[in-house]
Chain A
Amino acid sequence: MIINSRFFNRSELIGFVTLALLLFLILPLSLDAFRLNLVAKYLTYAFVAIGLVLCWGYGGILSLGQGMFFGLGGYCMAMFLKLEASSVENTKIQSTPGIPDFMDWNQITALPFFWKPFHSFPLTLLAIVLVPTLFAFIIGTAMFKRRVGGVYFAIITQAIAAILTILIVGQQGYTGGINGITDLRTLNGWDIRTDHAKFILYFVEVVLLFGCIVTAQFIRLTKLGRILVAMREQEDRVRFSGYSVANFKIFAFCAAAIFSAIGGALFTLEVGFMSPSFVGIVPSIEMVIYTAVGGRMSIFGAVYGSLLVNFAKTTLSESFPQLWLFGLGALFIAVVLAFPNGLSGIWADHVQSRIDRLISSIKRKSGGWTSNSVADGAPAE
């Protein structure tokens, strides 16, 4: 009986090393600062996509509202940066100095209570994780304990994302409204707008991304990961095996929310602002498309899906701004109809199998030589 107990199997290890080379070496060495910052922006969506792999690909819970967690994480970070940018000397021309400019424009004269914790960086980091988790926990508990699932759950998450957008836009004095929170400058005194800062932030982001990849892989390999798959197929059998299905769904949904929130916070740092246009229905659906294109069962696929779709979006929307949304819709339909396992499915079915055949034929031809070749799969440890 051979049950693979290694953390990565051979093809996953190759995928991990390839992605690490690409993100740590090839892209930073070959792209200029502007392009690298674009990649950094695309990669923030990869966090969301990895969360969706766990929640949707494995657990079968389709959330069309991941933008709200991305947004909550992003807003938490933006609130901290905005407070730092709104020091008394920076804002002395306002009628109330020391508060963010949009509050002053909306005749607010004191910092609202929920902004106060964001003076502290540690509290902000805590909030980036805790606020979206709590939010996901409340939604998850309310829905899954009542056994709301499938399409109904997807529609409800979409509705909540829409509500959150309306709330943010409507409460202009507290949130910056439709413009969002802009004009962010420094992080603990470190200017985040310079090319050098962006370069460093890119690496911080990639390290965190690999942290998320390893965490997701860890979850996937525990019994919880297998219960998620089991639940997707035969919810009742899981229930009658003694598990509280709702709790497992809540866990998967919260985990996806945390990943999204980390992505959102990094987005704010990389791009320098946060606005409701990253919270609502359209961005949330786009995030699902990144996952679907990459392959909803593949953690690495999620990263490539985010990079490629966003790259296509930037390129095509510059040339054909009106057609882009149709293209995106067509892409989604095409992927679901023709390649339900996305890019990673195409890779596994068409490329991987050929590589395996090639390796085995080389092995047959030249016996001992391959035993120390790279393709033979070094142990994961």
Chain B
Amino acid sequence: MLIGHQPKPFLLAVEALTVSFDGFKAVNNLSFYVEENEIRVIIGPNGAGKTTVLDLICGKTKATSGSIQFRGKELTKLKENQIVQTGVGRKFQTPSVFEDLTVFENLEISYPRGRTVFGSLTFQRDDAVKQRIEEVAEMIFLKDRLDTYADQLSHGQKQWLEIGMLLIQDPELLMLDEPVAGMSVSERAKTAELLNRIIKDRSVLVIEHDMKFVEDIAHKVTVLHQGQILSEGTMEKVKNDPKVIEVYLGH
């Protein structure tokens, strides 16, 4: 299985990926490819292995077998922070921001400079950093909350902050796990607008249950079921696939 045989260089190539937890195969011989600037949404019923796939790509879970190639680099052999440094960013399902730090400090920590111990000791909060933070804060609707401690933010604002923290890393592949879960209707609309703006010039891998949201943003949809691909293609194609209707959309 050589990457060189692919007609076009993919940004992300997942091949024969398997992970088993005590014999249970959460992801089973999974292969899929993400192109540059593609927005891919992964859907599927609970327990289909969606979050596990993201965990495997970002290194949180180690694969039992198979390969994950990002720009030709094998990710399964790298540590989490090295994977981030190659350009993969990950947002978690529950908002994970640093509540004892301000919005500014949260974003500053994610700024991709001074990531070593001594680099962070000598890190200077210069104009480039401040400017970039203000830019991102504006995008995530938190420009006037920069000095607010993150524990004072609403659930939706925390989600935005975490998206902003990814944005400031400027990853080539952005992975979002249920970005609109638990949001109000107006927050959802704002988030869709935000995502549509930030997905330019990068590939995005999204897990989402909200079908309207999926239709709005997806270029291609992958339906997972019991750790395997059930169907893949455009939203239109997937929606009309009888297998998908049976296990997932029919409910």
Contacts and interface: CB of A to CB of B under 8 A. Distances in A.
Nearest to A229: B100
B129 to A, nearest CB: 10
B121 A224 contact: yes
Contacts of B85: 242
Given A223-B109, A224-B121, A247-B117, A240 B100 contact: no
B123 interface: yes
B147 A233 contact: no
A237 B97 contact: yes
Contacts of B90: 240
A232 B109 CA distance: 14
Interface in A183-241: 219, 222-224, 226-227, 229-230, 232-234, 236-241
Interface residues of A, number: 28
B96 interface: yes
B115 A242 contact: yes
B125 A3 contact: yes
* Most A Cβ at <10 Å: residue of B97, B105, B106, B117: B117
Contact of B120 (A222, A229, A236): A222
A98 B82 CA distance: 55
A3 B134 CA distance: 13
B121 A226 contact: no
* Most B Cβ at <10 Å: residue of A233, A239, A243, A248: A243
Is the interface on chain B under 10, 10 to 19, 20 to 34, or 35 or more residues?
Answer: 35 or more
Given A2-B147, A233-B100, A244 B120 contact: no
A174 interface: no
Given A222-B121, A240-B84, A240-B90, A233 B109 contact: no
Chain A's interface: helix, strand, loop or mixed, by majority?
helix
B96 A223 contact: no
Given A1-B104, A3-B125, A247-B116, A237 B81 contact: no
Contact of A230 (B98, B125, B134): B98
A234 B98 contact: yes
A241 B84 contact: yes
A251 interface: yes
Contacts of B101: 226, 229-230
A56 to B, nearest CB: 15
Nearest to A226: B105
Nearest to A242: B84
A1 B134 CA distance: 10
Interface in B102-135: 104-106, 108-110, 112, 114-117, 120-123, 125, 134
B141 interface: no
Contacts of B115: 242-243
Contacts, number: 88
Nearest to B60: A236
A244 B98 contact: no
A227 B147 contact: no
A298 B92 CA distance: 32
Contact of B79 (A219, A237, A244): A244
B109 A238 contact: yes
A242 B117 contact: no
B99 A233 contact: yes
Interface in B124-152: 125, 134, 146-147
B232 interface: no
Interface string B45-88: 00000000000001010000000000000000001110011000
A299 to B, nearest CB: 17
A79 to B, nearest CB: 31
A244 B117 CA distance: 9
Contact of A237 (B96, B117, B121, B125): B96
Given A223-B114, A223-B120, A241 B96 contact: no
Interface of A: 1-3, 5, 219, 222-224, 226-227, 229-230, 232-234, 236-245, 247-248, 251
7 contacts: A1-B146, A222-B121, A222-B123, A223-B121, A229-B100, A242-B115, A244-B79
Given A3-B125, A223-B108, 6 more contacts: A223-B109, A233-B98, A241-B84, A244-B81, A247-B117, A251-B117
Closest 4 A/B residue pairs (Cβ): A242-B84, A223-B123, A230-B98, A224-B120
